[in-house]
Amino acid sequence: MMNTVQDYIDASGVLLAENARKHGISKSNFYQFVRKNQMERLAHGIYLSPDCWEDPAFVLHLRCPQAFFSHDEALYYHDLVDREPMQPTLTIYSGYNTQKLTASGVKVYTVKKELLPIGRQTITNAFGHELPMYDLERTICDLVRSRSHFDFQDFQSALKRYVARKDKDLNKLMQYAHLFRVEKVLRTYLEVLL
């Protein structure tokens, strides 16, 4: 029995044109199904059933699966700041064309390709989607590396909260700090706080 477009809608109501195409669904059948079912176009090749809620973070992940949620997003997720981010924040490798992302309101940071996966973890958001995000220690290194982009009070508060946490890993933090060349600066801040 041949699959239909309906078979490629995930549990959250998202339909990817790429999945349907890979499984032999023709473009005309695909778009006919999208129109008939009044699916909302969220981004290029990403559609949502009209009876489902949009998860903007998941859509962003689908648009740019190589990127990691970082900086403001990770600080908020790890409870290092109180304020929800004003705009989504991603980190991607240097050389990636970020023009469409920044044009759509995403704050984008870049790193060397070999540094991109350091500190990677997968989190499950409120919609139940798994998203790539940086761990606690990588988030602190990103904070220190990008300190000129943060309000000083937020910067200081995040460091204080990190130091007060029971689940912190100072050894891992210093390993990451060495890789990202912020060891000296980070040590200076930690000496005051510890």
Tens of pLDDT, residue by residue over 129-183, are 999 999 999 999 999 999 999 888 889 999 999 999 999 999 999 999 999 999 9
Let me know whether 71 and 43 are in one domain.
no
Same structural domain, 97 and 173:
yes
pLDDT score of 151 = 87
68 with 110, same domain: the answer is yes
User: Structurally, how many domains does the chain consist of?
Assistant: 2
Identify the bridge partners of residue 90 per DSSP, sorted by sequence position.
Answer: 69, 108
Q: Are 157 and 68 found together in one domain?
A: yes
pLDDT digits (tens, 9 = 90+) for 10-23: 888 899 999 888 88
Same domain, 115 and 134: yes
- The rounded mean pLDDT for the chain is 92
| Angle at CA of residue 101, ends 111 and 20, nearest 5° | 110
Which of the four pLDDT bands, split at 50, 70 and 90, describes residue 75? very high
Among 14, 35, 53, residue at a domain's last position? 53
Structural domain that includes position 168: 58-193
CB-based burial of residue 84 (10 Å sphere; 0-12 exposed, 13-18 middle, 19+ buried)? exposed
Q: Are strands 68-69 and 40-43 parallel, antiparallel or unpaired?
A: unpaired
pLDDT at 194 exceeding the cut of 70: no
Only one residue has tokens 């890993």, namely 169
22 lies in the same domain as 118: no
At 85-132, the pLDDT tens digits run 999 999 999 999 999 999 999 999 999 999 999 999 999 998 889 999
Is residue 164 domain-shared with residue 126, that is, in the same domain? yes
How far apart CA 135 and CA 138 sit, in angstroms, is 5
Q: Are residues 66 and 89 in the same domain?
A: yes
> For the whole model, what pTM was predicted?
0.86
Residue identified by tokens 């919609």 is 127
High-pLDDT (> 70) share of the chain, %: 98
